[in-house]
Structure 1
Amino acid sequence: MNFIAMDFETANAKRYSAVSIAVVVVRDDQVVDEFYSLLKPPTDFSQQNINIHGIHPQDVEDAPQFPLVWQKIQQFYTGEQLVVAHNAAFDNSVLKATLEYYHLPTPHYLSLDTVKTSRRLYPQLTNHKLNTVAEALEIPLHHHHHALDDTLAAAQILLKQSQEFGVDPLKSLVKVI
């Protein structure tokens, strides 16, 4: 399989408040590249979000704003590219809202949500949160809610699902963004 996986963490409930992003590139079923960056958001932080991901305002004081980081990764978001995320609706909405906030063009790409694939393929799990699915599939998840660790776990989840069940049951869940 060839795809990229992505994950965002946000400063607060506003979707354009991204404070970190990770992208993992998978080629021929292997992770071949990783990208992670903290981001300086255009908004304040909420304590609730800090409690989730542990990123504080002082951690991003010298971080780049999203447009600078986007220049490095936008090449991966094309009409033919499969972009995977665990709870993709959230990550896709953060990407779209952040691009809109900065008046950047919104790309079109293929999206696959490993929450949805996990619900379909592992209905017996008590829930389909990233840490639950990763544990059930014996995938390491060192720091849950760290964008790079979450991205690597989502990529490994899809690879395991593809190996165990094949690609066909997953195709119907691909969505055009």
Structure 2
Amino acid sequence: MDFIAIDFEIANNKMSSACSLGMVFVKDNQIVDEKYFLIQPPTLTFLDETTKIHGLTVEDVKNERQFHEIWEDIKHYFEGATIIAHNAQFDMSVLHCCLKEYSIEIPEFEFICSIPLSAKACREKVGNSLVERLHHFDIHLENHHNALHDARACAELVTTCVTVKNKKSLQSYCKTYRSIPIKKFSELKPQTYFKQQKKKKSFTKVVISEISANVQTFNEDHPFFGKNIVFTGELKLDRKDAMQKVVNAGGTIKSGVSGKTHYLIVGKQDKTIVGASGISTKEEKAYSLIEKGTAIKIIGEEEFVDLLGS
């Protein structure tokens, strides 16, 4: 195999509480096999928070095998393999804690996180979540947080990156990008408890490709006609409505700032998201390009609304 992509879901805040596992096998940069297991955790305790994530309950797993029984069927796949997971620290910690829970010998294999791996193939800065990376490469995810579907999506993300960079295999990809961390499982320092992150204020994700003009003709004298527009920060206007109005004016919405950007629309920035500076990465890039002579106009929401109505 080139690699095996895996994904775990857990029942509660203990990393040893695996309740499902997805495994996707890749050879010659093609998916060749898949396996999915429901797992009975050491204790049948499910938190509402985790059930809301993956939808599994006690009823789903109470008659399933425990991890140590399933491990007997799958342990040979891990010996000397390359294992990949998205946010690998989590999935590797789950595996490690499950092995420790049942006093199973720790196997030796290498693992890679698909976050730094896929970053090498991104054409622009993209969020680290699996959904954001998949959207960047137009990869469909059928059922997020189903362990098999997430493992398959992770595998497709990796094979797509290999293809995008014109490499024959994961191995040649990693040889080209030697900064991608390849770690030994035996050297993992696992987290033993799952700490749910406090939900930060975020913006409703708008799929730019779904926004198209719903007018028949354009005013070619409009300041946004034929211009590339990028948004950053929170607007008083609904973000999707604002984008729709730009498209109806003949403009084009872009997800990232580049040398072809004409306008960067800046809303209110949340410092818990962008940091103490209060400046987003899009703004930083725009200012950097302006210093190099690129004609990007950075405007606030008030000026944006004025230009929309002009």
Task: Flag whether TM exceeds 0.5 (same fold).
Answer: yes
- Extract unaligned runs of 5+ from structure 2: 168-172, 186-310
Where is the strand percentage greater, Structure 1 or Structure 2?
1
How far, CA to CA, are the matches of 1:120 and 1:46 in structure 2? 36
Q: How does 1:1-177 map to 2 (within 5 A)?
A: 2-43=2-43, 44-79=45-80, 81-122=81-122, 124-165=124-165, 166=167, 167=173, 168-169=176-177, 172-177=180-185
Q: CA deviation at 1:72?
A: 1.4
How far, CA to CA, are the matches of 2:125 and 2:20 in structure 1? 29
Q: CA deviation at 1:123?
A: 7.2
* 1:123/1:113 CA distance change after superposition, 3 Å: farther
| Number of corresponding residues | 176
Q: Output one character per residue of 1:59-112: Cα deviation in whole Å (capped at 9) or x when no partner.
A: 111111111111111111123x11010011000000000000011111111111
Q: CA deviation at 1:117?
A: 1.7
Alpha carbons 2:126, 2:136 under 8 Å: kept: no
Q: CA deviation at 1:42?
A: 1.1
* 1:160/1:171 CA distance change after superposition, 3 Å: farther
Q: CA deviation at 1:124?
A: 3.0
Does 1 or 2 have the higher relative contact order (CA < 8 Å, sep 6+)?
1
How far, CA to CA, are the matches of 1:123 and 1:56 in structure 2? 40
Q: Output one character per residue of 1:129-156: Cα deviation in whole Å (capped at 9) or x when no partner.
A: 1111112111121000000000000001
TM-score (norm 1): 0.93
How far, CA to CA, are the matches of 1:172 and 1:133 in structure 2? 16
Sequence identity (%)? 34
Q: CA deviation at 1:174?
A: 1.5
Alpha carbons 2:126, 2:133 under 8 Å: kept: no
Q: Output one character per residue of 1:156-177: Cα deviation in whole Å (capped at 9) or x when no partner.
A: 1111111122302167321121
Alpha carbons 2:22, 2:148 under 8 Å: kept: yes
Where is the helix percentage greater, Structure 1 or Structure 2?
1
Structure label with greater radius of gyration: 2
How far, CA to CA, are the matches of 1:68 and 1:140 in structure 2? 33
Question: Which amino acid in 2 is paired with 1:18?
Answer: A
